[in-house]
Chain A
Amino acid sequence: MALFGASALVIALFPSAHSRTNLVAMAKHIYTSTWRVLPWFTLATALFSLVLIRIVLVTALSYGLSQYALEMMVRVLVLELIPLGAALFVALRAGLAFNAGAAAPATHAGRSNEPVDFHNDVVPEVIASAFSVLSLAMVSSAIVLVLAYLNVYGLTLWGLVDYTRTVGRVFDPAVTAGFALKTILFGLAVAVIPMAAMLELSRQEGRTRSAASSTVQPGAMRLFFILLLIEAGSLAVKYI
């Protein structure tokens, strides 16, 4: 899995490795995994965040701790919940696609005994999945930051200085780097682990011809465990 991930990463990072076919395939995957779901995911995240923001704000106001409400919203939603939510959403969507038979080309190829084109099929999908996690997390975070401002200060610009100061206090260099690193790791995990598991499964099926008809996406448990590990590690580094 690590070898697969490293190979995909190396191919992705070198522009000379990308052919026209490869770029078109990558564009198609980005369109499918990000463009199509971005509005709905952003809307769902905004609604969910709005509920949480209201709960935190009303509770903080009732206890006279409103000065900490904004910081708590940013820390909980932007730094923790939204990246994790984006990663889980992309993983869940890939799992649903697998169950519906529209899975990754590797698995599809494995099941249909077609040869797997690592360069033109697998790598674009890996890149698109990682990009999807990053995009969903970034756009949703931006929307949530705006929602938090509107909920706390209302439709006025007078709170911008105070709000900016609070955001600046939360995003110190270590936290910002941790946030970026965590989101990238989430993206890589969601992109690499299921794909590597599918390739492994296809090789096993090619040898044994057992035709495993499992409806569970390969590597799903491993993925969730890794996501949990990244999140726990991030929390431990930040707060312990």
Chain B
Amino acid sequence: MERQPDSPSSSVPANVEFKAVLLLILMASLIVGFVLYVMYARGVFENTQRLVLLSDDSEGVIVGMDVTFSGFPIGRVTRVELAPDGKVRILIDVPDKDAKWLRTSSIFTMERGLVGETRIRAFSNVLEDPPLPPGAERSVLRGDTNAEIPRLVATARSLLENLQTMTSSDSSINSSLADLQTTTKRLNGRYGLLGGALGSDEEARKVIAALDRLNALLSKADQRVFGKQGLVDDVQVTVVQLNKVLGGAQATLKKVDAVLAEAQAVGANARIATEDLGTLRAEVEVSLRKVTTLVDEVNRKWPFASNKEIKLP
């Protein structure tokens, strides 16, 4: 049986041993490189600090899962264990280069959605706070979508019941719609909006009749007021007469003004006379004082004047 060219003993190049060694070296380096890469990817060469999260349920938490900060993985779950007090201790390794994002005021949450794995997140609102010390223990806040479902279903049921009540045949909405339909029918009826507003065509008819009567009354009033020898003509004559009366009153007032002017002149004269009277009185007083002085002088010089001196014994 002939050997095919594929056989190792036929058509073998001269440097086959070199190629085999090269291949061995390539494979060895590939394996070593891959192992080193995986070790690096798993953080074997990184210095880490320990963080312990306390929870009451470890469902969904698996070793190797990430802890994220603003969407970036900053740590990895290395162990999940049950504490003596029944709490779950989630041990997390945080690389030193990422530990700066964790502060003493940081909050940790564990969210579990309907689809996808559980996620542990860290929130640090105040980055000026002191950094989280190594080995720190923090409680984790849990948000479970599955736990929210019963409450959501109860709320939805209540909502649906309300909706059913609203849409039942004797519901308020149906009654309102029926009323609205009746109103719309009236609006589309013979008397239109008037019939809809007043409730029936009969009422609308009464209003229209009243309007007719009002129209007739207005026409009569128009005739009486604005017609021939109507109220407006009488008013016009009265106004003319009133104008005349006003003209007379105006002339009278002018005369009164003249009388008042004369009275003012009399008043002024009286004031002047009063001033002269004061002067006259002063002069009279002076004259009287002179007469008194004169009489006293006469009495003193008069021979029959009695001696008024009293002589004591």
Contacts and interface: CB of A to CB of B under 8 A. Distances in A.
Interface of A: 23-32, 34-36, 38, 65, 67-68, 97, 100-102, 108, 111-112, 125, 131, 134-135, 138-139, 141-142, 164-165, 167-169, 171-172, 176
Given A30-B20, A31-B16, A102-B6, A167 B31 contact: no
Given A102-B3, A131-B27, A32 B8 contact: yes
Interface stretch (B40-48, B128-136, B162-170, B265-273): B40-48
Contacts of B21: 27
B34 interface: yes
A131 B23 CA distance: 10
A138 B34 contact: yes
A108 B31 CA distance: 34
27 contacts: A24-B17, A27-B16, A27-B19, A27-B21, A28-B16, A28-B20, A31-B8, A31-B13, A31-B16, A31-B20, A31-B23, A32-B6, A32-B8, A32-B12, A36-B6, A97-B6, A101-B1, A102-B3, A112-B1, A131-B24, A131-B27, A135-B23, A135-B27, A141-B34, A168-B38, A168-B40, A169-B66
Given A35-B19, A131-B27, A167 B38 contact: yes
Contacts of A27: 16-17, 19-21
A35 B17 CA distance: 11
B41 A165 contact: yes
Given A67-B116, A168-B40, A169-B64, 15 more contacts: A27-B19, A28-B9, A28-B12, A28-B20, A31-B12, A31-B16, A35-B20, A100-B4, A101-B2, A102-B4, A125-B8, A134-B27, A138-B30, A167-B37, A171-B41
B16 A168 contact: no
A100 B38 CA distance: 42
A187 to B, nearest CB: 12
A158 to B, nearest CB: 13
Contacts of A31: 8, 12-13, 16, 19-20, 23
Contacts of A172: 42, 63-64
Interface of A is mostly: helix
Contacts of B34: 138, 141-142
A108 B43 CA distance: 52
A5 to B, nearest CB: 21
Contacts of A23: 17
A62 B155 CA distance: 32
Interface in B37-60: 37-38, 40-43
A35 B19 CA distance: 8
Contacts of A141: 34
A34 B21 CA distance: 12
Interface residues of B, number: 35
Contact of B40 (A134, A138, A164): A164
A88 to B, nearest CB: 18
A101 B4 CA distance: 7
Contacts, number: 95
Contacts of A34: 23
A102 B8 CA distance: 9
Interface string B227-250: 000000000000000000000000
Contacts of A169: 64-66
Contacts of B3: 101-102, 108
Contact of A168 (B4, B24, B43): B43
A108 B65 CA distance: 55
A169 B41 CA distance: 8
Count chain B CB atoms within 10 A of each CB in A23, A28, A139, A142 and give the residue with the most: A28
Contacts of A135: 23, 27
B145 to A, nearest CB: 16
B12 A111 contact: no
Contact of A142 (B6, B30, B115): B30
Given A167-B37, A168-B41, A35 B7 contact: no
Contacts of B2: 101
Contacts of B192: none
A134 B16 CA distance: 19
Contacts of A167: 37-38, 41
A29 B19 CA distance: 11
B73 interface: yes
A44 B112 CA distance: 41
A131 B25 CA distance: 12
Nearest to B44: A168
Contacts of A32: 6-8, 12
A67 B117 CA distance: 11
B38 A108 contact: no
B66 A171 contact: no
A67 B19 CA distance: 41
B50 to A, nearest CB: 19
A134 B26 CA distance: 12
With most chain A CB atoms within 10 A of its CB, the pick from B19, B30, B34 is B34
A135 B34 CA distance: 13
B16 to A, nearest CB: 5
